[in-house]
Homo-oligomer: A and B are copies of this chain.
Amino acid sequence: MEFSITIFLDLLGTFAFAISGLRLASGKRIDWFGAFIIALVTAIGGGTTRDLLLDVRPFWMMNPMYFITTGIAFLSAILFKEKLFRWGSTLFMFDAIGLGLFTVVGISKSLAMGLPFWVCVMMGTITGTLGGVFRDVLLNKVPLVFTRDIYALACVFGGGVYYLFYKFGFSSDITELMTAITVIVARLIAAKFHLQLPLLKPINENIQKK
């Protein structure tokens, strides 16, 4: 996936993640600078945490395109608010693409460092979802990823597909492509049919608390 289409999709995902940060920040008495920061954290927070855990330099320091893409998302949100609204389902598609791409990047980068496969799947999931967790923590909410339609689990499905293709000796291009498609399709199906995992039911609160 080193051809330029990947880079284009990666930036599309970044754009969609940034917009999701801006959308959730809007109307909450957050100023422009704060909104830009929340957009940036949503877009690069997952990959940054992955890189800290892998002990490599955060990816965005070497390439200003992520920063610039977030800036474009910010300007779009200021200038084309009503139009962005009409793009709703397109943005949703970008977001799913971003999730798929980010998961693949996280898995491949970790695998290249010789980590066990289950750690790589965790890193893929972290890359795809942690930006949104930071966004929600900064906006003082319980992270959406914990509560709604299947989202993080799509990354884990993708990890399973990656493992199969990898073990059966497929090329990394095919492996990564199939992984990304799995994540994207799983996410779209989950959203369309509102597939949800069961909620964790209350455990009796009389127990002495930790």
* Chain A residues proximal to chain B, CB less than 8 Å: 16-17, 19-20, 22-35, 37-38, 48, 52-53, 55, 57-58, 61, 64, 67, 77-78, 81-82, 84-85, 88-89, 91-92, 95, 115-116, 118-119, 132-133, 137-148, 150, 152-153, 191, 196-210
Contact = CB atoms under 8 A, between A and B. Distances in A.
Contact of A31 (B78, B147, B209): B147
Contacts of A30: 142, 146-147, 199-200
A150 B34 CA distance: 10
A118 to B, nearest CB: 6
Nearest to A20: B210
A25 B209 CA distance: 12
Contact of A202 (B26, B89, B138, B152): B26
A39 to B, nearest CB: 10
Contact of A23 (B27, B139, B203): B203
B138 A133 contact: yes
B89 A197 contact: no
A145 B144 CA distance: 23
21 contacts: A16-B210, A22-B200, A23-B205, A26-B201, A27-B201, A27-B202, A28-B200, A33-B150, A33-B152, A33-B153, A33-B197, A34-B145, A34-B147, A64-B118, A85-B207, A88-B206, A92-B210, A137-B137, A139-B142, A140-B140, A140-B142
Contacts of A28: 142, 200
A53 B55 contact: no
B146 A17 contact: no
A149 to B, nearest CB: 9
A137 to B, nearest CB: 6
Nearest to A25: B200
A31 B196 contact: yes
B210 A29 contact: no
Instruction: Please name the 10 residue pairs, one residue from A and one from B, whose CB atoms are nearest each other, closest first.
Output: A34-B146, A27-B202, A20-B210, A88-B207, A31-B197, A35-B200, A26-B203, A92-B208, A85-B204, A32-B197
